[in-house]
């Protein structure tokens, strides 16, 4: 029989990953095994962690069981690519439309409108590409700073012993190290 205290106790499984590919594989299997996106979290950026804790950490193992460590939601690699594509697409569209409207408003011929739209789309598209690259660089920087501290931390919220066991098996299967459960 489960007591009220046991029902209220939140548990989570934590593991450290040596590379982004293994981390992604573990997350993919967690999600296909019924874990919700909201039950998965990663370590926040180094600056955020230092600001919250008031000190630097050398290795992720020092902070993996600390419930006060700031975390961030897992963002799928596909979502980053979608954001980059959307940013570029919107800027290309805005550039083309703004240029076409400007040429039409000045009384330009259809050929001039088309040429203006193409030039505007190209210019704004270039800006979009630069901004998209910045998004990719930010993600790469985040991964790099975590790896410099010993690995990528992954937490999985579990609500019962069966899900805890499943999470431990999945993280271990995908090369997670120091995989264990603790009270959150």
Q: What is the per-residue pLDDT across 88-121, written as a single tens digit (0 to 9) for each?
A: 565 555 555 555 555 556 565 555 555 555 555 5
Judged against a pLDDT cut of 80, whether residue 162 lies above it is answered with: yes
Q: Assess if CATH 3.30.2130.10 describes domain 10-46+149-184.
A: yes
Residue written as token pair 């800027």: 91
Q: What is the pLDDT of residue 88?
A: 57
Q: What distance in Å separates the CA atoms of residue 10 and residue 2, rounded to the nearest whole number?
A: 14
pLDDT of res. 1: 46
Lowest mean pLDDT of 29-33, 142-146, 161-165, name the range.
142-146
Specify the pTM: 0.62
- Position with higher pLDDT, 74 vs 163: 163
User: Is 37 a residue whose pLDDT tops 80?
Assistant: yes
Residue ranges of the domains in the chain? 10-46+149-184, 78-145
Listed as own residue / partner, the contacts of 131-140 with beta carbons closer than 8 Å and 24 or more positions apart are: 131/87, 131/88, 131/91, 132/83, 132/84, 132/85, 132/87, 132/88, 135/80, 135/83, 135/84, 135/87, 136/80, 136/84, 139/80
Decide if pLDDT at 36 tops 70: yes
């Amino acid at each position: 029989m489960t007591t009220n205290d046991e029902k209220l106790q939140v548990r989570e499984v934590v593991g450290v990953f040596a590379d982004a590919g293994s981390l992604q594989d573990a997350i993919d299997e967690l999600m296909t095994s019924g874990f919700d996106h909201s039950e998965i979290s990663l370590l926040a950026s180094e600056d955020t962690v230092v600001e919250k804790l008031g000190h630097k950490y050398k290795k992720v193992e020092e902070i993996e069981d600390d419930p006060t460590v700031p975390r961030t939601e897992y963002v799928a690699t596909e979502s980053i690519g979608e954001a980059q594509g959307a940013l570029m697409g919107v800027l290309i569209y805005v550039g083309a439309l703004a240029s076409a409207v400007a040429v039409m408003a000045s009384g330009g011929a259809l050929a001039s409108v088309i040429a203006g739209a193409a030039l505007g789309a190209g210019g704004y598209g270039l800006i979009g590409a630069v901004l998209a690259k910045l998004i990719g660089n930010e993600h790469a920087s985040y991964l790099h700073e975590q790896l410099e501290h010993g690995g990528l931390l992954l937490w999985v919220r579990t609500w019962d012993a069966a899900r805890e066991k499943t999470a431990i098996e999945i993280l271990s299967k995908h090369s997670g190290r120091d995989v264990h459960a603790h009270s959150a």
